A and B are shown apart, each in its own frame.
Chain A
Amino acid sequence: DVKVTQSSRYLVKRTGEKVFLECVQDMDHENMFWYRQDPGLGLRLIYFSYDVKMKEKGDIPEGYSVSREKKERFSLILESASTNQTSMYLCASSLTARAYNYGYTFGSGTRLTVV
């Protein structure tokens, strides 16, 4: 089974800090995604990547950046953390962008609190 590992389950950071959330997948998937999940708003796509060094903005990229230097690793960066970025962050991967018969695998999530 594909495994998507997020480095931290819980994080507490201070306003203004630069925050790195790490995600690693072990099955050579091309695509990786970062979502945030908030009560009443559901899951919203922040950024995604189709390949190494490639990135595309999702629906809510403001205040975030990403890095994909290696195929298995996709990092989400909060340049200057703010309290409105307190959320559950979920990483996902999939084999290819246009795969009829292959779904998405999610990590266990990182609960980030910005104080």
Chain B
Amino acid sequence: KQEVTQIPAALSVPEGENLVLNCSFTDSAIYNLQWFRQDPGKGLTSLLLIQSSQREQTSGRLNASLDKSSGRSTLYIAASQPGDSATYLCAVSSNTGKLIFGQGTTLQVKP
């Protein structure tokens, strides 16, 4: 059974820092991995999608990497801003069609 773990559960950094969020999964037979952002009381916003054959994807200050063989992904946020404060969720998709989520990392960027 696929399990997804995110470390750390919470992170607080000063504005301007570069930071890395970690995601690991137990079954490497994934179709893709997706990073989402969730603001309090809101739905999920997709940030980046990495196909199983890809190593990384970039969007603005965000860069996500994928190492399928070791079951790991990282989300790198450059020059963090207070507006980046949110919960970040990673999720993997497999041939079951289901999306399996980690518990999330809650990020606070202090001005």
Contacts and interface: CB of A to CB of B under 8 A. Distances in A.
Contacts, number: 64
Interface string B81-102: 0000000010101011111011
Given A42-B104, A48-B97, A101 B32 contact: yes
B28 interface: no
Contacts of B91: 104
Q: How large is the interface on B (under 10, 10 to 19, 20 to 34, 35 or more residues)?
A: 20 to 34
Contact of A103 (B46, B53, B97, B103): B46
B34 A104 contact: yes
A98 B43 contact: no
Interface residues of A, number: 27
Nearest to A91: B43
Contact of A107 (B43, B51, B93, B101): B43
Nearest to B51: A100
A43 B101 contact: yes
A108 B44 CA distance: 7
